[in-house]
Amino acid sequence: MTTSNFDKFNLVSNISEKNSFSILEHNLKHFLDWCFLDIGGFINVNIPTQDLNQGNFHQLRPVKNPETSRDNTTWESFRKDWVYETGIDYSTSPNNVSGIYINNTFYPGPTGNSTYSYYIDYPNGRITLNKPISSSSKVHVEYAYRNIQIYKSSDNLWWKELQRNTYQAYRFDKNPDYNVLANNRVQPPFIMIEPIARNQQIPLELGSYENILSQDVLLHVFTQNTNQRNSITDTLLLQKEKDIILYDIDKVVKDNKYELNYRGEINNNGLNYSEIIRNSDYQYKIGHIKNSILSEQNILSSSLYNSVLRWTIEIYR
């Protein structure tokens, strides 16, 4: 009797390998981010965008940045989660951040010039300058933000704040929600992805250790009105029987092909979602949305509406 494999785990060769749960959660976020953009789930902000009822979305405000000790170097927009993707297949395209204006002088992106250099943090919707400027400066930028933000439950702790009234971009100091930095707040409408402790392993074939993993995922939808909630809920329900190519995020990052770097800047060597999943070098497994069920609908307040959907996803090679 051979004993060559009795002292080894099945199907795992490295302790740092991501498991199917974390790979699924990451892939679902990237899938939803991309697909919502592909049906027009973004808002373009131009200069100017003044609205008598809402304010100036193109105007940034100075904020404290835990990554730097210098005041007035980091400037943040009203809405976070700026769009960085290219190749969106929609009738209009998201605005590209071509640069910023400081007191009406243009500094080209993505890094500025010798007078002011900066980097753009797309997920947090802000720019960080190499040196401080006056807090009364006017910093303006054209960009696009995601209409629907997507979050992974594993990355978002309970103390993150739910920010309301994010379409009322009047003076920042009149809205106490903006005391919370972009790192630690979420803005409706958004979806929280939560893989739950309910899964089943079904043998794939005789003579193999591999299984089809059936995993349940909850999608928590939060919006500020019923129309938004119902529209997003219907879109997610319609994905029953949808196949998703899951990619190996570790390999994508190792090859320097992920779209953003650690500071949230665009990686010039990066591939967009569509390019990644079509590259056989990065394909991991197939995810099939076997069931899509509406579990709950709630009215949490006069300006906060919620629904919960359950996707059952089968993962196989």
Is residue 277 located within the same domain as residue 199?
yes
Alpha helices in 114-259 (DSSP H): 226-237, 249-254
The predicted-structure confidence for 138-162, as pLDDT tens digits, reads as follows 999 999 999 999 999 888 665 456 6
Count CB neighbours of 137 within 10 A: 14
Is residue 182 included in any domain, yes or no?
no
In this model, does residue 263 exceed pLDDT 80? yes
Is residue 302 included in any domain, yes or no?
yes
Is residue 22 located within the same domain as residue 49?
no
Q: How confident is the model at residue 174 (pLDDT cuts 50, 70, 90)?
A: low
What are the angstrom distances between the C-alpha of 90 and each of 145, 266, 304?
A: 15, 21, 29
DSSP at 158: T
The predicted-structure confidence for 265-287, as pLDDT tens digits, reads as follows 999 999 999 999 999 999 999 99
pTM, two decimal places = 0.85
Q: Which of 116, 146, 176 is the last residue of a domain?
A: 146
Is residue 86 included in any domain, yes or no?
yes
Is residue 197 located within the same domain as residue 132?
no
Question: Which domain range does residue 250 map to?
Answer: 1-41+189-317
Mean pLDDT of the chain: 86
Is residue 168 included in any domain, yes or no?
no
What are the angstrom distances between the C-alpha of 265 and each of 36, 235, 262?
A: 21, 30, 7
Q: Count the domains in the chain.
A: 2
In this model, does residue 108 exceed pLDDT 70? yes
Is residue 37 located within the same domain as residue 47?
no
Highest mean pLDDT among 28-32, 76-80, 205-209: 28-32
Is residue 163 included in any domain, yes or no?
no
Q: Which of 113, 146, 179 is the last residue of a domain?
A: 146
Q: What is the pLDDT of residue 206?
A: 46
CATH at residue 306: 3.30.2000
Q: Find the helix or strand (DSSP H, E) in which 129 lies.
A: strand 126-129
Is residue 29 located within the same domain as residue 94?
no
In this model, does residue 165 exceed pLDDT 90? no
In this model, does residue 67 exceed pLDDT 80? no
Is residue 263 located within the same domain as residue 193?
yes
Q: Which of 146, 163, 181 is the last residue of a domain?
A: 146
Q: What is the pLDDT of residue 316?
A: 85
The string of DSSP letters for 42-86 reads: EEEE-S---BTTTB-TTB-EEE--TT---TTSEEE-SS--B----
Q: What is the pLDDT of residue 114?
A: 93
Question: Among all chains, which residue has been given the structure tokens 């980097």?
Answer: 119
Q: How far is the C-alpha of 267 from the C-alpha of 260, rounded, in Å?
A: 5
Average pLDDT for 200-204? 58
The predicted-structure confidence for 128-143, as pLDDT tens digits, reads as follows 999 999 999 999 999 9
Q: State which amino acid sits at residue 63.
A: V
